[in-house]
Amino acid sequence: MSVLAAIVGKEFRAMSRDIHGLMVLFVMPAIFILIMSLALKDAFTPSTLQNISFTIVDLEQKKLTQDLSEQLKASGYYYQDSHNLNITEIEQQLRLGELDFAVVIREGFERAQVEYKSVPASPPLTLLINPSINPIADQGFQGQLFEVLSRQKIKIIMRLNGMSLGSPEGGSLAEKERNYSASMVAVEYPATAHKIRPTSVQLSVPAWLVFSMFFVVIPISTILIKEREAGTLSRLSTMQVSGFSILLGKLIPFFLVNQVQAAAMILVGIYLVPQLGGDALQLGPSLLGLWLMTCATSMAAIGYALLIAVLVRTTDQATTIGGVSNIILGALGGIMVPKFTMPDFMQQITEFSPMAWALEGYLDVLVRAGGVSDILNEMATLLLFAAVMLVLAVIAYRMKGFNR
């Protein structure tokens, strides 16, 4: 028993002095609870609808179309006025994620609603959707639209036939009209290559690719710390090798590692996921854009990793701080929680996560069928971030006397 007591006592002492271990056990979950709770604060309440925006383009301007507009505006979703915009401009807004849905009511809508039996040859209503919207939000809005259309149609039929909703005829009619309403609507994702709904693989590959690229922080930190402990950094310093050269020397190989990582994950999305029954990843029209986005993300990830590598003292710290900070950046960056579910202030915080910039850039290319010109902002931000991180790393390298 005394042996066991000694071991237990030793473990408690060791544990209490392992600050990083305790951080992982206590601080990390606390931070996670904080971030995730705030991020998902509105996810289960109706106020979430206010974070999903839509607009209506009424090309017919009749009584029924105005009624439809009013009912949609009363549905709880955020209505964004777009009176001064044409369809192309609205499509651009959808592509940029500035707008989530656009309901375009075309000529012939009222006639199609009033006519009872005939299914319209071409749908008089088009629903344009932001392709990077979360599928749940997508289905939710579509459901709401069909519901409003069905209700409107049922009211018309009942009024014409003198029926009530409680009657057996009324119940079967509601079900029938719901299906009919679906045929009234053409659903399009205007920013995608084939205007079809992006698959889960199309959304998940960029997210996890960005997340994994930022994990270079652990090997980079570990290598730098081992070099310092072994005295090789000090030796290189006596050989007049500058800290900048040493850090730059790490950037290049890990840049290549990130390229291989990106290629491997994209290949998994294209070939392996379909083998297991999923959809295949579509690369989009701009391979150059995809590669440039990978380069910019890689530079940002390595710049960040180098700063962490210089700031931490031990490999334990590198693993803990590098790993935990990545998870936090991922949570804040919309990797784990869709941005649209977050309250406004959390959405503003995501603007400070490099993972969010990288994710937006990848979504531009892979989901919104964007080209190089569409990702210039994200690339510039990521490269600026990389440069700032690298400069800070070099300064910290000198200030901390990493060469001694």
Partner 1 sequence: MLSIAAVSYQYKHANESALIHVDLDIAPGEVFGLLGPNGAGKTTLISLICGTLPLQQGAISIDGVEEAGWRSKLSIVPQEYAFYPMLTVQENLNFFTHVQGLKGNSAKASIANAIAVTGLELSLKKVAGHCSGGIRRRLNLAIGLLNDPDYLLLDEPTVGVDPQSRAFILETIKQLAEGGKTIIYTSHYMEEVELLCKNVAIMDRGCILLAGQLESLLEQHQTMATVRLALDQLTVIQRTALEEGFPSIDLNNNLQILDGVSESSLTQLLQLCVEQQIKVEQVRYGYQNLEELFLSLTKRSLRE
Q: Where are the alpha helices (DSSP H) in 312-375?
A: 315-332, 344-350, 354-366
Total length of the chain: 404
- Residue among 13 and 235 whose Cβ is closer to partner 1: 235
What does 251-293 look like in DSSP terms, one character per residue?
HHHHHHHHHHHHHHHHHIIIIIHHHTTSPPPP--S-HHHHHHH
Asked whether position 66 contacts partner 1 by CB under 8 A, the answer is no
- Residue among 239 and 276 whose Cβ is closer to partner 1: 239
- Residue among 252 and 287 whose Cβ is closer to partner 1: 252
Torsion on CA atoms 12, 18, 20, 23, rounded to nearest 10: 30
**Region binding partner 1 by CB under 8 A among candidate stretches 67-75, 78-86, 186-194, 237-245:** 237-245
Asked whether position 235 contacts partner 1 by CB under 8 A, the answer is yes
Q: Exactly one of 1, 239, 260, 276 binds partner 1 (CB under 8 A); which one?
A: 239
Cβ burial, residue 259 (10 Å; 0-12/13-18/19+)? middle
The minimum distance between CB 403 and partner 1, in angstroms, equals: 6
Asked whether position 315 contacts partner 1 by CB under 8 A, the answer is no
Q: Exactly one of 161, 232, 348, 373 binds partner 1 (CB under 8 A); which one?
A: 232
- Residue among 39 and 220 whose Cβ is closer to partner 1: 220
Q: Exactly one of 17, 238, 276, 345 binds partner 1 (CB under 8 A); which one?
A: 238
Closest by CA position to 393, among listed 305, 299, 296: 305
Maximum Cα–Cα distance for the chain, whole Å?
Answer: 96
- Residue among 237 and 347 whose Cβ is closer to partner 1: 237
Of residues 240-259, which lie at the interface with partner 1 (CB under 8 A)? Answer: 240-241
CA dist 294 → 114, 214, 234, 256, 366 (Å): 52, 12, 34, 11, 12
Asked whether position 31 contacts partner 1 by CB under 8 A, the answer is no
CA dist 338 → 145, 209, 328, 369 (Å): 22, 16, 14, 20
The minimum distance between CB 401 and partner 1, in angstroms, equals: 8
Identify whether the C-beta of residue 109 lies closer than 8 Å to the C-beta of residue 183.
Answer: no
Asked whether position 234 contacts partner 1 by CB under 8 A, the answer is yes
The minimum distance between CB 233 and partner 1, in angstroms, equals: 9
- Residue among 257 and 324 whose Cβ is closer to partner 1: 257
**Region binding partner 1 by CB under 8 A among candidate stretches 27-35, 138-146, 154-162, 225-233:** 225-233
**Region binding partner 1 by CB under 8 A among candidate stretches 92-100, 176-184, 224-232, 251-259:** 224-232
Gap between the Cα atoms of 93 and 98, Å rounded: 5
b vs e for 92-131, b when ≥16 Cβ sit within 10 Å of the residue's Cβ?
Answer: ebbbbbebbbbbbbbebbbebbeeeeeebeebbbbbbbbb
Asked whether position 396 contacts partner 1 by CB under 8 A, the answer is no
Cβ burial, residue 371 (10 Å; 0-12/13-18/19+)? middle
Identify whether the C-beta of residue 154 lies closer than 8 Å to the C-beta of residue 165.
Answer: yes
Count of residues touching partner 1 (by CB under 8 A)? 16
Reduced to 3 states, what is the DSSP secondary structure of residue 143? helix
Q: Exactly one of 29, 171, 231, 285 binds partner 1 (CB under 8 A); which one?
A: 231
- Residue among 149 and 220 whose Cβ is closer to partner 1: 220
The minimum distance between CB 315 and partner 1, in angstroms, equals: 15
**Region binding partner 1 by CB under 8 A among candidate stretches 119-127, 236-244, 262-270, 336-344:** 236-244
Asked whether position 230 contacts partner 1 by CB under 8 A, the answer is yes
Spacing of C-alpha 379 from chain mean position:
16
State the residues that interact with partner 1 by CB under 8 A: 227, 229-232, 234-241, 401, 403-404
